[in-house]
Structure 1
Amino acid sequence: MFGRVWALVVKELLAVLRDRKSRTVLIMPPLLQLTLFSFAATLDVKAVDLAVLDQDGGAAAVELAQRFVGAPYFARVHHLSGLGQAAPELENERVMAVLVLPQDFSRDVAAGRPATAQVLLDGRRSNTSQIVQGYIQAVVDGYNADLCARRGQPGPPARLVVRAWFNPSLDYMWFTVPNLIGMLSMVVGLLVTSLSVARERELGTFDQILVTPLSPREILAGKTIPAMLLGMAEGLLIVAAAIVLFRIPFRGSFPVLLLAQFLFLLSVVGVGLFISSLCKTQQQAILGTFTFMIPSMLLSGFATPIETMPEFLQLVSHANPLRYFLVAVRGVLLKGMPPGMVLEVLWPLVPIAVVTLALASWLFRRRLG
């Protein structure tokens, strides 16, 4: 039995690796996507354009406006001459926010009275607006602290000290790249398995496999093992690129990462075989792969936290293998998560793999009958 399965495994590997197009698809797109998404798929708000309307012109107002010019959060600070220019700047998305300093701003500051300033934000991008509002508040707080120090007045009674764990520099790439390891590994595992049976049917060689002594289980094993090997190799290549090219720290255990990737690919391969058993052509298999892949990415917690989703989607996400692997790969790389904690996160992948492989085997036998 092992010899027959191994012969089919070698045949599948040769069919993929000898084809120049298949080799290119397995290597170049994942690396290109890793590079592209690492720089483009970011939720960081940087280089924001800000407009300042100084209706006062006094020393205090000018000093505060100059603080925004020198702040690292803002790329360009536009100075407006009238309130009528504020709305067009926001409507045409030339700026993200408009700071309005009223006429009595410097007078109130000089008299020691509370001075007010108005911030107009583009609410069409609510998350970005909240972040920009925090940036503006930070600049104003710094101005207030310096003003109190110059006048010998006590500063605010409480001060917030922020310390970021596992990512001290708050580099969003440290979050994006580990997630891409899981997503790109899933793409390779799904494509290789979903195209395997469909390719045989499209080329007319599937009937030749059926007349061999191979049983349906042996055929499934021969289709599963090459996808696992290629997926593991692709995942290790992406991990190496993440560490060497993007300087992502690796604080955990390499065997633990291999175990996590193996369990993840085992559950993904079952889904790919299920799709492959349903499809008759490679085009249908590719469409089926992307039909499963896009919801999996959305429900994995990569783009938005799972806790913010509706309850029924949170329940659906429990069947998503990518959800568990992303937590594990981030924990191993950034936190050095010990093996026990990784297994606590990954154990749902075992029943998911059992169910998906069983369904793929059942459907494969039914299609043969």
Structure 2
Amino acid sequence: MWWARLKALIIKELLAVLRDPRGRMVLIGPPIVQLFVFSYAATLEVKNVDIVVFNQDAGRWGAELINRIDGAPTFRSITRVDNPEALREAIDLQQAIAAVSIGPTFSRDLATGARADLQIILDGRRSNSAQIVAGYLNQIVAGLGAEPASGTRAGPVAIEVVPRNWFNPNLIFQWFMVPNLVAAIALLIGLVVTALSIARERELGTFDQLMVSPLRTHEILIGKLIPPVLIGTFHLTVYVLAAALVFGVPLRGSLFLLYGSAVFYLLAVVGVGLFISAMSATQQQAILGAFLFMVPAMLLSGFATPIENMPGWLQPITLANPLRYFLAVVRGVFLKAIPAEEVLNNTWPLAVIALITLSAASWLFRRRLE
């Protein structure tokens, strides 16, 4: 009998979301758009870079350095200037992110093994991109400095370092971004759908009708919990298929382990959403509460910056963030084929967070009924 009541509530919750045109739009449109926009636009790679060069060297190696920069796929254009003022102006007006000043003795110094006169000027207003561009330029300069001048250059023999990247050998950015989005967008959908659940009932005036129904309090909570989990699992499946079939991200691990961990992740997210919904009197408050949680959760998850780089006092706070653990699972399953033990190590904290958040949501829900 209890199952029939619960089933009716679950169907009612699903219909309430799917019959509303705005609800359907929120569930279908934005997540798909976000998946593709973030996968292509939210990139830490630096391409199509404009460079300014002030070459005072009349020798071979100054021209060779310019040709190598020009031939690198990262750089879009090279503007040659003939005085330091023009170089400074190009940086000031943001016409270029970096400038290379080649000294008049550059070729001679390279030929004799002396320290070459070369300066790289960066636009500090775009610090992250500028540092990446500096790394590209340093790599080109190091390659040039390691080559002998027709076999006659004096100086030490250069040691060539050949890097090898495991799990993403070609450093394809989508392989890093798309698994992150699988977890992040599932957080967004699960949180928003759940946060609106009880608040929508209050705003539409159907909450009191729900209270006088034969459903018990825990059955109402379970009925509010299961539909977002089902919707989140559906979205997760769509993202996994898109990652493998559209973006070509290798799926090296076990789907069984991924979905097993995803259940506890979604329960933890839904617990937070129910807590926010129980506190909110209107849907607007619920939306604001969801985003108030989601933005710090994204920043403290290791999505864009490693947790190890955060201040020491901030790192313990990330232990309460469910996105932190599921990101590790998604990345590992896609790129690394992590073993079941490592998945379990990142799943049991999700179970603890789910237990705490669902218990808190249940307590607050009961208290609001008194």
Partners of 2:180 and 2:147 in 1: how far apart?
41
- Counterpart residue type for residue 250 of structure 2: P
Per-residue CA deviations over 1:335-365 (Å, capped at 9, x if unaligned) read 1112111111221111100100000000000
Aligned Cα root-mean-square deviation (Å) = 1.6
Structure 2: gaps of 5 or more residues = none
Structure 2 vs 1, CA of residues 260 and 156 (structure 1 numbering), >3 Å: closer, same or farther?
Answer: farther
- Counterpart residue type for residue 252 of structure 2: R
Partners of 1:247 and 1:302 in 2: how far apart?
20
| 1:250 maps onto 2:251 in alignment | yes
What is aligned with 1:58? 59
Contact 2:112 2:155 in 1 (8 A): no
Partners of 1:230 and 1:81 in 2: how far apart?
62
Secondary structure of 1:170 counterpart: coil
Partners of 2:282 and 2:110 in 1: how far apart?
74
Secondary structure of 2:167 counterpart: coil
- The aligned runs of 1:136-151 (5 Å cut-off) are 136-148=137-149, 150-151=151-152
Structure 2 vs 1, CA of residues 157 and 112 (structure 1 numbering), >3 Å: closer, same or farther?
Answer: closer
Q: CA deviation at 1:165?
A: 0.5
Secondary structure of 1:334 counterpart: helix
What is aligned with 2:236? 235
What is aligned with 2:328? 327
What is aligned with 1:165? 166
- The aligned runs of 1:174-185 (5 Å cut-off) are 174-185=175-186
Q: CA deviation at 1:290?
A: 0.5
What is aligned with 2:187? 186
Per-residue CA deviations over 1:156-178 (Å, capped at 9, x if unaligned) read 35321210001011011111110
Partners of 1:203 and 1:85 in 2: how far apart?
65
What is aligned with 2:298? 297
What is aligned with 1:219? 220
Partners of 1:229 and 1:193 in 2: how far apart?
12
Structure 2 vs 1, CA of residues 283 and 120 (structure 1 numbering), >3 Å: closer, same or farther?
Answer: same
Partners of 1:125 and 1:221 in 2: how far apart?
49
Partners of 1:266 and 1:239 in 2: how far apart?
19
Structure 2 vs 1, CA of residues 142 and 168 (structure 1 numbering), >3 Å: closer, same or farther?
Answer: same
TM, length-normalised to structure 2: 0.96
| 1:368 maps onto 2:369 in alignment | yes
Q: CA deviation at 1:32?
A: 0.2
- Counterpart residue type for residue 276 of structure 2: I
Contact 1:148 1:154 in 2 (8 A): no
TM, length-normalised to structure 1: 0.96
Contact 2:104 2:117 in 1 (8 A): no
- Counterpart residue type for residue 147 of structure 1: P
Contact 2:111 2:154 in 1 (8 A): no
Partners of 1:233 and 1:40 in 2: how far apart?
25
Partners of 1:87 and 1:182 in 2: how far apart?
44
| 1:270 maps onto 2:267 in alignment | no
Structure 2 vs 1, CA of residues 138 and 5 (structure 1 numbering), >3 Å: closer, same or farther?
Answer: same
Secondary structure of 2:252 counterpart: coil
Higher mean displacement: 144-153 or 130-139: 144-153
Partners of 1:222 and 1:41 in 2: how far apart?
37
- Counterpart residue type for residue 4 of structure 1: R
Partners of 2:235 and 2:44 in 1: how far apart?
26
Secondary structure of 2:148 counterpart: helix
Structure 2 vs 1, CA of residues 270 and 309 (structure 1 numbering), >3 Å: closer, same or farther?
Answer: same
Contact 1:178 1:330 in 2 (8 A): yes
Contact 2:167 2:335 in 1 (8 A): yes
Structure 2 vs 1, CA of residues 45 and 204 (structure 1 numbering), >3 Å: closer, same or farther?
Answer: same
What is aligned with 2:69? 68
Structure 2 vs 1, CA of residues 149 and 290 (structure 1 numbering), >3 Å: closer, same or farther?
Answer: farther
| 1:353 maps onto 2:354 in alignment | yes
Contact 1:194 1:285 in 2 (8 A): yes
Partners of 2:64 and 2:354 in 1: how far apart?
62
Contact 1:149 1:155 in 2 (8 A): no
Partners of 1:350 and 1:314 in 2: how far apart?
20
| 1:10 maps onto 2:11 in alignment | yes
Q: CA deviation at 1:86?
A: 1.8
Higher mean displacement: 323-332 or 95-104: 95-104
Q: CA deviation at 1:264?
A: 0.5
Higher mean displacement: 232-241 or 153-162: 153-162
| 1:80 maps onto 2:84 in alignment | no
Partners of 1:134 and 1:189 in 2: how far apart?
40
Per-residue CA deviations over 1:247-304 (Å, capped at 9, x if unaligned) read 1111111111111111110000000000000111111111111111001000011121
Partners of 2:293 and 2:109 in 1: how far apart?
60
- Counterpart residue type for residue 309 of structure 1: M
Contact 1:54 1:101 in 2 (8 A): yes
Partners of 1:154 and 1:118 in 2: how far apart?
21
- Counterpart residue type for residue 320 of structure 2: A
Equivalent residues, number: 369
Contact 1:276 1:285 in 2 (8 A): yes
Partners of 1:153 and 1:195 in 2: how far apart?
72
Structure 1: gaps of 5 or more residues = none
Contact 1:148 1:155 in 2 (8 A): no
Partners of 1:286 and 1:314 in 2: how far apart?
27
Contact 2:110 2:145 in 1 (8 A): no
Secondary structure of 2:50 counterpart: strand
